[in-house]
Amino acid sequence: MLLLVGLGNPGSEYARNRHNIGFMAVDEIVRRHGFGPWRKRFQGQSCDGNVGPEKVIALKPGTFMNLSGQSVGEAMRFFKILPSQVVVIHDDLDLAPGKVRVKQGGGHGGHNGLRSIDDHIGKDYWRIRLGIGHPGHKDQVHGYVLHDFSKTEQAWVEPLLDTVAKEFPLIAEGQPDKFSTRVGMAA
């Protein structure tokens, strides 16, 4: 069993923000792989389905980004799973737009959603980092991540989300390197 977590902020006003690319990716995985309906639980929205032979619980925390760990910790305890069975998809300012990196463990890199998850479950979970680029100066970061992707950015956002969803079975099968390669080739 895997707990697939998309990071973002709840509410329609945030739906297309750069900071919500984790929610967008999970939505596309859920759609592509025919998961059941979303329902309120674990301080967020969750649904489940199968990706290949693996049961996957998808979770979008409703706690806002900075408190994401509360929701993730609650779901983990309910399903009695380990951090190594958690896959978090999130935005990454330090990666070029459209680039993807996968790793287990590591630091939060200043990302408040990851910081919260680290505080609640430790650092040994999987991260799928989706590059959104950097605005150029640290004073511009807050406004940048809380604004929608531009029309020109949609040229890489939609294909990226489609490829992540299409290749997600490789993550479920325990092949993160192959996932990274396939997503990277499509970028």
Other beta carbons within 10 angstroms of residue 55's beta carbon come to 12
Question: Catalytic residue at 19?
Answer: yes
Distance CA 138, CA 155 (A): 25
DSSP symbol at 94: T
Q: Burial level of 153, CB count in 10 A (0-12/13-18/19+)? A: middle
Residue 119 parent element (H or E) = helix 112-121
Which of 19, 33, 90, 120 does the annotation list as catalytic?
19
Separation in Å, CA 130 to CA 24, 97, 120: 11, 8, 22
DSSP string, 46-87: EEEEEETTEEEEEEEESS-GGGHHHHHHHHHHHHT--GGGEE
Q: What are phi and psi of 110, to 5 degrees?
A: 85, 0
- The residues annotated as belonging to the active site are 19
